[in-house]
């Protein structure tokens, strides 16, 4: 497995080696040793695994969890094809307001790690796009917030041939500037502290292991 740093501080892309024969393909989209080597620390304990199915044109996000508790994510595309966005919405971050895009499919078998406080979004490029997530915190509706994926100041590169399909919540989400004015965005230094606690809790001497997205 190869790792690459993304334009958002702390975010990582992973590309897995594939094994093919006349039966099909085998791939390991998450590998703990490679993850911990790239991140420079232990993996967070997984609290929840999520699965979403989307048709072409669906745009989900930009979603994030309020901090505290915050949530780290590890995400890959199990079927179909999507353009996945990592967006830095952490106030005080050296890459605040920046984003990176990764094509997730069954050719490169890439996966993305999003640190605590970082926003996540994607656009489904095909029908039956399945996204799989490992997450460090359980879903609690009132803790989940969103920033508009159509914010012109962010300028996420949603393909021109896509007519975005958004949920009511995402369509009504504030821009990044509006969310900042309302005090809704996580603090960078606080997010680093929360992420360090996740790593500490996942060390073997704490009796916890696992992965999260």
Catalytic site includes residue 133: yes
DSSP letters spanning 20-32: EETTEEEE-S--H
Indicate which residue of 63, 74, 76, 113 is catalytic: 63
Show Cβ contacts of residue 85 under 8 Å, excluding neighbours closer than 6 positions: 61, 62, 99, 100, 101, 119, 120, 121, 122, 123, 149, 156
Q: How far apart are CA 86 and CA 12, in angstroms?
A: 9
Catalytic site includes residue 63: yes
Tell me how many degrees the CA angle 42-213-100 measures, rounded to the nearest 5: 100
Contact 101, 137 (CB under 8 A): no
Indicate which residue of 64, 74, 76, 133 is catalytic: 133
Q: Which residues are catalytic?
A: 63, 133
């Amino acid at each position: 497995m190869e790792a690459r740093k993304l334009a958002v501080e702390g975010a990582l892309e992973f590309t897995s080696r594939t094994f093919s024969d006349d039966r099909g393909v085998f791939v390991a989209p998450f590998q703990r040793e490679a993850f911990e080597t790239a991140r420079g620390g232990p993996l967070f304990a997984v609290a929840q695994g999520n699965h979403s199915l989307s048709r072409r044109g669906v745009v989900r996000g930009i979603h994030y969890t309020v901090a505290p508790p915050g949530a780290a994510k590890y995400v890959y595309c199990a079927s179909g094809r999507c353009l996945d966005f990592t967006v830095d919405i952490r106030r005080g971050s050296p890459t605040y307001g920046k984003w990176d895009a990764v094509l997730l499919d069954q050719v490169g078998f890439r996966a993305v790690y999003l640190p605590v406080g970082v926003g996540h979004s994607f656009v489904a490029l095909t029908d039956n796009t399945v996204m799989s997530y490992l997450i460090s915190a359980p879903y609690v509706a009132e803790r989940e917030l969103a920033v508009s994926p159509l914010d012109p100041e962010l300028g996420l590169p949603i393909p021109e041939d896509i007519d975005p399909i958004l949920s009511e919540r995402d369509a009504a989400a504030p821009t990044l500037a509006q969310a900042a004015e309302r005090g809704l965005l996580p603090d960078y230094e606080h997010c680093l502290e929360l992420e360090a606690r996740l790593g500490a809790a996942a060390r073997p001497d704490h009796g916890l292991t696992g992965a999260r997205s």
